[in-house]
Amino acid sequence: MKVTKAVIPAAGLGTRVLPATKAMPKEMLTIVDKPAIQYIVEEAVNSGITDILIITNRGKGVIEDHFDRCPELEERLLASGKQDVYDEVVSISKLANIYFIRQKETKGLGHAVNCARSFVGNEPFAVLYGDDVIIGDDPACGQLIRAYEKYGKAAVGIKAVPETDIHKYSSLKVEHLEDNLFSCTDMVEKPQRPEDVLSLYSILGRCVLTPNIFDILDNTAPGAGGEIQLTDAMRCLAQTVGITGVDYTGKRYDMGDKLGILQATVEIALKNPNLGEAFKAYLKEIVPTL
């Protein structure tokens, strides 16, 4: 079955980015000239997704406004002859069919994804974590969708993380299949002891799930940090039918982390057709002074 639906969980509290995220959702933090979540929606659309459910909560209404029309602003832009900016602003509201639902309590990523059950129905669907921006020529979500279509199993985006950091991530038991694809048969969330580490491969930012995940989530007890972990539900899929791991191409930026935000800003600014050259010249000027 073709994957046309995506879910973007964006209801986290963003405590690692405080005080910026006290009133502003981290998904709306700007990278150069667009909020992080717009890069994510564009990646989904470029992967063939037509319908997107964004999971929000209190205080995140600004995300809805961003994907809505804005008649007053549009009129002003047209009246002042700013046709290019007008076109860009209007195009944001036409990227996809975008829906919103609130996660009423912040009970974890697994709990957030479970809010998407009625939107998803009985179809496979993509999950794009709202604070992970991935930039690359071949959209990461599309790479996972191809892996799902080829192997018929849920697919997760994976990357090797440093040994010293694996306790902050999930750890996967993997076997190489071909190219950048792996078969994954087990996983553990935030392994605290060295003997719990299955490999340095971790799920980062993207997955394509089968709808049976919802029944599994219904029966998933709170795990690491007292939250309902998506990884715990995915482990059940991995152990029973297996999951495909995709070591996707593309650079991931963690917008839930202050250093990640700075890296995204610098690297994406350097690639910007209007600002890139001037920004590079500025960096060359200040780097020798460091």
Identity of the residue, 77 or 255, whose beta carbon is nearer to ligand UTP in the bound complex: 255
Q: Could you tell me if 141 and 160 are in contact, meaning their C-beta atoms sit under 8 angstroms apart? A: no
Alpha carbon dihedral 128, 132, 133, 138, in 10-degree steps, equals: -50
Omega before 19 within 30 of 0, i.e. cis: yes
Q: How far apart are the C-alpha atoms of 260 and 258, rounded to whole Å?
A: 5
Q: How far apart are the C-alpha atoms of 12 and 28, rounded to whole Å?
A: 12
Distance of CA 62 to the CA centre of its chain: 18
Q: Which of 4, 6, 9, 140 binds ligand UTP (CB under 6 A)?
A: 9
In angstroms, give the least distance from the CB of 109 to ligand UTP. 4
In angstroms, give the least distance from the CB of 255 to ligand UTP. 8
Give the residue among 261, 192, 271 at the shortest CA–CA distance from 279. Answer: 271
Annotate each residue in 215-244 with x if it binds ligand UTP (CB under 6 A) or - if it does not, as one string: ------------------------------
Identity of the residue, 146 or 190, whose beta carbon is nearer to ligand UTP in the bound complex: 190
Q: Applying CB under 6 A, what is the total number of residues that bind ligand UTP?
A: 20
Q: Which of 29, 32, 49, 55 binds ligand UTP (CB under 6 A)?
A: 55
Q: Which of 11, 184, 207, 217 binds ligand UTP (CB under 6 A)?
A: 11
In angstroms, give the least distance from the CB of 270 to ligand UTP. 25
Strand partners, 158: 203
Distance of CA 194 to the CA centre of its chain: 28
The piece of 28-36, 127-135, 164-172, 180-188 that touches ligand UTP (CB under 6 A) is 127-135
Give the residue among 22, 247, 254 at the shortest CA–CA distance from 133. Answer: 254
With CB atoms as reference, the residue minimizing the distance to ligand UTP is 12
Annotate each residue in 12-51 with x if it binds ligand UTP (CB under 6 A) or - if it does not, as one string: xxxxx-----------------------------------
Identity of the residue, 47 or 103, whose beta carbon is nearer to ligand UTP in the bound complex: 103
Q: How are the residues of the chain apportioned to helix, strand and coil, as percentages rounded to the nearest 5?
A: 40, 25, 35
In angstroms, give the least distance from the CB of 222 to ligand UTP. 11
Q: Which of residues 99-118 bind ligand UTP (CB under 6 A)?
A: 103, 106-109, 111-112
DSSP per-residue codes, 186-237: EEEES--SGGG---SEEEEEEEEE-TTHHHHHHTPPP-GGGS--HHHHHHHH
Identity of the residue, 181 or 233, whose beta carbon is nearer to ligand UTP in the bound complex: 233
Q: Which of residues 130-189 bind ligand UTP (CB under 6 A)?
A: 130-131
Residues lying near ligand UTP in the complex (CB under 6 A) are found at 9-16, 55, 103, 106-109, 111-112, 129-131, 256
